Structure 1
């Protein structure tokens, strides 16, 4: 299926900006890349009425190394039995860019549509904080949810983990760890993985075919990975590249949403297949879109239907 004309027009505008001298993220410093990403994110905001019916609470927790970690809790303003089931959500951005604000719309939509609580994690970013700091922050947020969630109206026994892009990668690791060490981690009912990065150790057909011109470029991916890693050997660690994990048995059921025009498409599909081979129940969808699909509601039609599908799977998984 071909790209929607409105999305193609958006990509043309991006390319015009490039030709006019606007540099790609991988040509910038991390600090400037974050500013640029946040500015671009403001232009992708869509005003769906559902997002106005979600309450937001700003929370702060302490990490294992004493740092202050920001969380944002989304609670749907609808009548419902308390406590709420919860989705622990990790934003994308290649571990370098992205924030609670840049992915606020995603979390609000999922909270309202499911309905469920969504707990978003402002994990620390690279290169100031390299692998595995982002993962440790995600783990600490999960442990806080188990220990303190009830005080905020959350039911940690009805738990899903999810994210987009690099955030989805972190979610895969949490789900694998929960299966491998159930005495240490809470049971997870669903892993909601949207265009995850699953193997930073090699290239694929899609990473070469959609190398540039489709929003996320392979050069930018390499820039992200080089900022996140401590040494190149980190890319062979399954917590960096979950596709390399040898033991996926017992992991939570997965919904894997992929974008057809995305350099990450093939590795995401390969991961879905590996989960299935390990006996995990998997629903895999491939949408005629580019990377960052979930933030494209203002750019192309059809994103609303994607959210309906995501919320439907979440609701089923988190039901009593």
Structure 2
């Protein structure tokens, strides 16, 4: 398959997903069950097709890993229509401007909510481009503006560079909301995987300012990395064969934070923060067949224990990375549609009055 041109590979992938269910099951093989869960046919079929290629997220040279992800982003098909974009640079005191892209549904008026989005990729790979379809989908289906952030990557920039860029980007969005066409009192933050880690880090850091400066009003977290110090059961259960692997996780973290002593810093391991009170309401989506599952669920539990309104949603039958496959099987779209609805609802239910109540730390 690696000798086949990428456009042909993409066409073949979509053709397979368009087959009748019995044929898709025949190609995917017998259902996979683990830990009392059954993998969705769409996820299993994707894994079977990926197995025909020499596809991996990590390993080897980080520049090659980035290039491979950029090349293969077109396999899932064109992005969502009905959304216009414009690129901009966010001023920063650390290493030059931070690139960003604003997504605006064409029918959306000014003064809308805004989602600051941070892409996944283990803090090493991924970009605004690799997550273009994800941001388009959220913009159109949640009817919000989305500001996608191209933060600095490791190993050129170790922790906490990405976390610093994420905080800089959020503060820029808050200061410039009106020029972005957004409501300054309705700015959410979100991301997937490493991006969800950065989003949660921003929420933690802004909550610690004790009312000084803007804070997100909602956090949308897809399978977040939340603890760089502890190996949990799901990492062993799904160590290989389910898109993100145990080796990938080690490779990513070693590139981002090679200093073991820094891995307990709450800006990286948000699950280890002493106090999570005052963080914004959250929708935390995890995948049943994901090495990161247990630490994402643990973070949702800790938010709830801290009095933070949270929806903890484990998609039992999905794999890591499902936000990137929204143009493929219906099961991926269902998960993303639910998340878009949660974002839209969470933003609609907030008000200037209860933002104060939600964010005020309790005794």
Q: TM-score, normalised by structure 2?
A: 0.82
Structure 1 partner of 2:311: 283
Unaligned runs of 5+ in 1: none
Matched, 1:44 2:69: no
Higher relative contact order structure (alpha carbons within 8 Å, sequence separation ≥ 6)? 1
Q: Give the 3-state SS of the residue equivalent to 1:177 in structure 2.
A: helix
Rounded Cα–Cα distance in structure 1 between residues aligned with 2:77 and 2:93? 34
Q: How does 1:149-168 map to 2 (within 5 A)?
A: 149-168=177-196
CA contact (8 A) 2:114 2:186 kept: yes
Aligned mate of 1:56, from 51, 73, 85: 85
CA contact (8 A) 1:157 1:187 kept: no
Q: CA deviation at 1:318?
A: 2.0
CA contact (8 A) 1:46 1:297 kept: no
Q: CA deviation at 1:79?
A: 4.5
Taking a change above 3 Å as real, the CA distance of residues 64 and 209 of structure 1, as seen in their structure-2 partners, is same
Q: How does 1:127-146 map to 2 (within 5 A)?
A: 127-146=155-174
Q: Give the 3-state SS of the residue equivalent to 2:177 in structure 1.
A: helix
Most deviating of 180-189 and 258-267: 180-189
Taking a change above 3 Å as real, the CA distance of residues 303 and 25 of structure 1, as seen in their structure-2 partners, is closer
Aligned mate of 2:230, from 176, 182, 202: 202
Rounded Cα–Cα distance in structure 2 between residues aligned with 1:258 and 1:46? 25
Structure 2 partner of 1:260: 288
Structure 2 partner of 1:70: 99
Aligned mate of 1:301, from 318, 321, 330: 330
Aligned mate of 1:193, from 221, 231, 252: 221
Structure 2 partner of 1:241: 269
Structure 1 partner of 2:58: 26
Unaligned runs of 5+ in 2: 1-36, 352-363
CA contact (8 A) 1:195 1:257 kept: yes
Q: CA deviation at 1:199?
A: 0.8
Matched, 1:4 2:32: no
Structure 1 partner of 2:111: 83
Rounded Cα–Cα distance in structure 1 between residues aligned with 2:258 and 2:52? 35
CA contact (8 A) 1:249 1:278 kept: yes
Q: Give the 3-state SS of the residue equivalent to 2:330 in structure 1.
A: coil
Q: CA deviation at 1:23?
A: 6.7
Rounded Cα–Cα distance in structure 2 between residues aligned with 1:122 and 1:3? 32
Q: Give the 3-state SS of the residue equivalent to 2:176 in structure 1.
A: helix
Q: CA deviation at 1:46?
A: 5.0
Q: CA deviation at 1:147?
A: 2.0
Rounded Cα–Cα distance in structure 2 between residues aligned with 1:130 and 1:15? 31
